[in-house]
Amino acid sequence: MNREDAKKVANEYNLVTSKKSHEILRAIQKDASFDNIFLPENINVEQLEKIKLLYQKKKKELEKSYKGKAYPSNLPFYLILEEKYPTFSWKILGTETNSNTATNVNIDAPRVDNRRPSLCSLLINDIRCDTDTSLHRRYPVVSRLPAPLVSSLAQLLEDIQAISPDALDMEKIVGWLEKGLQGEPLTLFSPVCPDYSVEQLKEGPILYQYTFNELGSGVGLVAKHLLKILPALSKTFKKHSLKVTIIVGVGDFEAANLSNVRKVNLTFEEFVSRLQKSRAAIQISSKAPIQTVLFTDLCGGFQGWNAYLKKFERMFTKKKYGYSNLTSEKLLSIIKARKPLYDRWYGIRSHLEDYLPMLLRQGAEYAAMGAVLKEKYKNCLILGADHAAMKPFYHVDHIHPILYLKRFYM
């Protein structure tokens, strides 16, 4: 926070500057009069005398416990603040040799608009700790939301094991939630992969890997993971009176890629039939209220889907990637992350560049999904349970609010 913004926050919340705080606390420590100190309008001598009495009480307690040993001069203040704020904590960094030696102390204190108030401000004011969560500190933009909702959001992100959003993602998520708080209906859309065969790995953070040997007609790996966390999402939305329709979309468009169909030894019709059964299985299995769709149904079937797909394939051929900020270097980085999966899906290639057609074909599918969702739903947040490396492709046509879950497969 720059000096001008810090001054604005200090004025808005009647905070005492660090310089003035040091002057006041020194007077308290020396048991001196406050007559010669120019006090801010929001502070009176009566308040300071009460703090002085608390300081002297804590100091006497410390003299008994430390028995002549040195301690940080501000320690009595820290002890007062520990009792006042449950979130206040401190830790001595290093040791003192005498009472006049400065000691480094790490302080974790409530913040105001992501700025830590001076000790004097904390002692005099009642700083609201509900506006000082981990999300407030990392994303100042969440201060636009009610504190209870921010608290719920912080817990939700932890419970569903979401990847920490970047600043732009969080800004979009906050904007999405603000529309819901204003009474607008919201949509949470989560695309899921077909029920390809998988095998469980024996150890490591990655639990499964796709084999692509078969295509089932039940609840696929990504959908299973999603269904586990949807009740927590639904509960949070309901708690804060947000009208959110949760939609799970099965990626039936993968049937349009003949290499996918051949990989699992099916015809196009058989492939689509199994995806229809998967959609029904997901609907029945969900413990949260959801809608399920085959994705191509959102754009008039496979003919409509192909129109979207071809549009983005033509763009990518010209190395145009819309709003995604994708570059050749970033594409190679995504290939590195996806290479183990592509090796099992399409076979091993000699060079990273050889995987580029596969990535761009799949990337065009993601871009097409993003474009369809933009046109189909007014306020739509995309919840990704697949590989987060593919997220930029959703932004080619439109920058969506997106939240991704941590990866559990390869």
pLDDT for position 200: 86
**Residue 11 — very low, low, confident or very high, per pLDDT cuts 50/70/90?**
low
Among 131, 164, 196, identify where a domain stops: 131
Confidence of residue 17 (pLDDT cuts 50, 70, 90): confident
Name which of 8-22, 32-46, 220-234, 245-259 the model is least confident about.
8-22
pLDDT at 173 over 70: yes
The more confident residue out of 213 and 92 is 213
**What pLDDT, on a 0 to 100 scale, did the predictor assign at position 128?**
61
Domain boundary among 104, 131, 158: 131
Q: Is residue 245 part of a domain?
A: yes
State the average pLDDT over residues 232-252. 97
pLDDT at residue 171 greater than cutoff 60: yes
Residues 113 and 193 in one domain: no
Domain boundary among 107, 131, 155: 131
**Mean pLDDT along residues 150-164:** 93
The confidence band for 122, taking pLDDT boundaries of 50, 70 and 90, is: confident
Q: Is residue 272 part of a domain?
A: yes
**pLDDT (0 to 100) of residue 2:** 53
Answer whether residue 138 is part of any domain: no
pLDDT at 80 > cutoff 70: yes
Same domain? For 250 and 391 the reply is yes
One domain for residues 163 and 290: yes
Given this model, what pLDDT does residue 400 score?
95
Concatenating the DSSP letter of every residue in 159-213 gives HTTBPPP-HHHHHHHHHHHHHHHTT--EEEEEEE---EEEEE-SSSS--EEEEEE
The confidence score (pLDDT) of residue 145 equals 92
Per-residue pLDDT tens over the stretch 348-384: 999 999 999 999 999 999 999 999 999 999 999 999 9
Whether pLDDT at 190 is above 80: yes
Same domain assignment for residues 248 and 126:
no
Predicted model pTM: 0.74
The band of 18, judged by pLDDT with boundaries at 50, 70 and 90, is confident
Same domain, 361 and 244: yes
Average pLDDT of span 16-45: 88
Residue 259 sits in the same domain as residue 359: yes
137 lies in a domain? no
Q: Could you tell me if 114 and 160 lie in one domain?
A: no
Q: State the pLDDT at residue 103.
A: 63
| 162 and 87 housed in the same domain | no
Higher-scoring residue by pLDDT: 125, 358:
358
Q: Residue 170 domain-assigned?
A: yes
Q: Are residues 91 and 154 in the same domain?
A: no
Q: Residue 135 pLDDT more than 90?
A: no
**Lowest mean pLDDT: which of 203-212, 235-244, 320-329, 395-404?**
203-212
For residue 340, the domain's CATH number is 3.40.50.620
Tell me what pLDDT residue 7 has.
61
In a domain, 358, yes or no: yes
Please compute, for residue 12, the number of CA atoms within 13 A of its CA located in the half-sphere on the CB side.
10
296 touches 305 (CB < 8 A): yes
Average pLDDT over the chain reads 89
| Residue 238 and residue 123 in one domain | no
Residues 49 and 169 in one domain: no
Question: What is the band of 3 on the pLDDT scale with cuts at 50, 70, 90?
Answer: low
pLDDT-derived band at 72 (thresholds 50, 70, 90) equals confident
- Tally of domains in the chain: 2
pLDDT at 97: 43
Over residues 55-69, mean pLDDT: 88
Q: Per-residue pLDDT for 67 more than 70?
A: yes
Query: Helices 147-159 and 167-181 sit at what angle, rounded to 10 degrees?
Result: 120
In three-state secondary structure terms, 250 is strand
DSSP 39: -
The token duo for 149 is 């909702």
Range 117-124 average pLDDT: 86
What is the rounded average pLDDT of the residues 229-243?
96
On whether residue 409 sits in a domain, the answer given is: no
Q: Is residue 101 very low, low, confident or very high in pLDDT (cuts 50, 70, 90)?
A: very low
Q: Is residue 410 one of the residues assigned to a domain?
A: no
Examine the pLDDT at 52 and tell me if it is beyond 60. yes
R_g of the chain computed on alpha carbons: 29
Confidence band for 98, pLDDT divided at 50, 70 and 90 = very low
CA 165 – CA 233 distance, rounded (Å): 16
Full residue range of the structural domain in which residue 171 is found: 145-404
Question: Is residue 71 classed exposed, middle or buried when 0-12, 13-18 and 19+ CB atoms within 10 A define those classes?
Answer: middle
CB within 8 Å of 260: residues ≥ 6 apart? 254, 271
**Segment among 14-28, 106-120, 226-240 with least mean pLDDT:** 106-120
The larger pLDDT score, comparing residue 189 to residue 92, is at: 189
The residues, ordered by sequence, that sit 6+ positions from 222 with a Cβ below 8 Å of its Cβ are 192, 193, 385, 386, 409
**Residue 132: what pLDDT?**
60
Look at residue 346 and give its three-state secondary structure.
helix
Q: Are residues 226 and 356 in the same domain?
A: yes
Task: Return the pLDDT at 410.
Answer: 66
